[in-house]
Amino acid sequence: DDGVWIGAQSIVCPGLHVRQGSVLTVASVLHRDTEPFGIYTGNPAARLRDRKINDRSGTFAQDVKLR
């Protein structure tokens, strides 16, 4: 989905859905679908915390526009 970051040398198993705004840290192994705006790390990857994205007004932005 939009706004996803997948770190270098990470593995995403086939058929998974990496949802909007999720982050998979470097060298992690993802073996199940992510939740939107979650940060995942490790082998197997586990949800570390929520990803907070703020726009310039300081409010939570659901839609991230990539440049």
Q: What is the pLDDT of residue 37?
A: 95
> CA–CA separation, 45 vs 30, rounded Å?
5
Q: Tell me the longest C-alpha to C-alpha distance in the chain.
A: 38
Task: Give the residue-averaged pLDDT of 11-20.
Answer: 96
Q: Give yes or no for residue 58 having a pLDDT over 50.
A: no
- Per DSSP, the three-state class of 1 is coil
Whole-structure pTM value: 0.78
